[in-house]
Amino acid sequence: MIQVSNVSLKFGKRTLFEDVNIKFTNGNCYGLIGANGSGKSTFLKLLSGELETTTGEITITKGERLSFLKQDHYQFDDKRVIDVVIMGNTKLYEIMEEKDKMYSQTEFTEEDGMKLANLEAEFLDLDGWNAEPDAAQLLNNLGVKEEYHYMEMKELPVKLRVKVLLAQALFGNPDILLLDEPTNSLDIEAIKWLEEFLINFNNTVIIVSHDRHFLNKVCTHICDIDYSKIKLYIGNYDFWYESSELLQRQMRESNKKKEEKIKELQSFIARFSANASKSKQATSRKKMLEKIQLDEIVPSSRKYPYIDFKIEKPAGKEILKVENLTKEIDGKIILNKVSFTVLKGDKICFLAEDDMVKTTLFNILMGKEKYDKGSIEWGKTINPGYLPQDNNEYFKTDKNIMEWIGQFYDIKDETILRGFLGRMLFSGEDVFKKVSVLSGGEKARCMLSKMMLEEPNFLILDEPTNHLDLESITSLNKGLCNFKGELFFTSRDYELNSTVANRVIEIHKDGTITDRSIPYEEYIESNSKN
């Protein structure tokens, strides 16, 4: 258990947290949410002891072990993969090192013998003999094959290093588990395994994640950082989000009786209780949900950008036809006689183990890269808009946001441009910031703004949720669901994939494709059964 009592944190004149009181208990999984810059990762560092509070205290039940997943992929470059995992239990790893050191001695004193005996006893208590097999099992479950287990970390690609660090955090059944963006760079199978692991994990888990589907699957509670406070809600992310929207709607309808409000909320809770029936905590969760009162839910201060892709001219019957498209890079065929035809209303999610393959295909379709063989035939009425994964080339300029966005809009009226930028959360003096110094999230919102102003009837989006906060991802999701044109996209956001895509094209390692006109979720489930 972690008890947070009257905790405040200040950086200079800025107050990040003020008088926070919250208790994290065993058997629960807490999703920590908040707008970008609200202090989610900082709060995890406070809980872990990496940062000190300005006032107040954080206490952990005596004897409990805390494990913290961080994103430093290069911290253990000279260590063996298997050892890095075992280092998740610091005490056990230190004992193993001390044992190895003593056994390498050429001479032993009686005192050395006693010390070694004590070390062996501690080693046994910590289940040390199973350390390597347990670490290997975790790695295998996350998709890190045995051939990598005894390599040094620096020999692994970054995607595998991420998995090793996750295995380290999970190793040895910690009492308290802190996870900062645990699904970053994980493939679908690894995410599914992690979901099941956490659902069945009996200790305390606190997670920061932008993956809404992941939060919905594993969380029993949501901790919302807002107004420098942290408020605890029972239920998953969708429950929190829809509850907040419900309350705001009800507050606008102030002429209605409170009984009507309560009735609506109770109906809403009942529906969510039924939806939660798949989780192992269903029974207890339902009881807790039924106790929620209207006044427990406070409207959020966070803002959602307005994302709506209008179409200048609807597409004709001919959209896009690709035949026998072939591309080779460094002697390897990544696209092998790829053929598909896009039909009216298609919203296609592209999958590939290597992100570079999807990006290359999109670049080829947009004329930014050459292909070796085959043909690409766009319909004469098609006006494609492209959101690349790497957008840095668009921001190598001294222009401010107002000047930058004005390049893509015929009307130069400042009032109109300010109104548009305001809906994308650039207000006041923000519009005069140089685009070269914008954050990743701000650049992403600028690129989405550009696409909306261009009004294309065909969208190609390469990892559009990168750098976006939950609010922006939610708005983007709605915008793509409402888009009336055709769409190609690739994304790690399960919720976006499953609610937007009506067709899936998977590019395999040999460059061939599987093309199925079924929803994303159905495609993933059918593959997992094979």
pTM: 0.82
Return the pLDDT at 279: 46
Return the pLDDT at 294: 47
Return the pLDDT at 90: 92
Q: How many helices (H) and strands (E) does the chain have?
A: 18, 18
Q: Which CATH class is domain 320-529?
A: alpha beta
Return the pLDDT at 302: 77
Q: Cβ atoms within 10 A of the Cβ of 386, count?
A: 20
Return the pLDDT at 243: 81
Return the pLDDT at 282: 44
Return the pLDDT at 264: 65
Return the pLDDT at 403: 93
- What residue segments make up the domains of the chain, in order of their start? 66-174, 237-296, 320-529
In sign, the C-alpha dihedral spanning 53, 57, 63, 67 is negative
**Residues near 254 by beta carbon (within 8 Å), at least 6 away in sequence:** none
State the 10-residue block means of pLDDT for the chain, 530 residues long: 95 91 96 88 94 96 93 85 95 91 82 88 91 96 95 92 95 95 89 94 95 94 92 90 77 58 63 54 49 53 89 93 96 96 97 94 97 97 96 94 89 84 90 92 94 95 92 95 97 94 97 96 82
Phi, psi of 459 (to 5 degrees): -110, 140
Q: Cβ atoms within 10 A of the Cβ of 204, count?
A: 23
Return the pLDDT at 467: 87
- Region at 477 (left for phi over 0; alpha for psi -120 to 50; beta for the rest): alpha
Helix orientation angle between 188-199 and 520-529, rounded to the nearest 10 degrees: 80
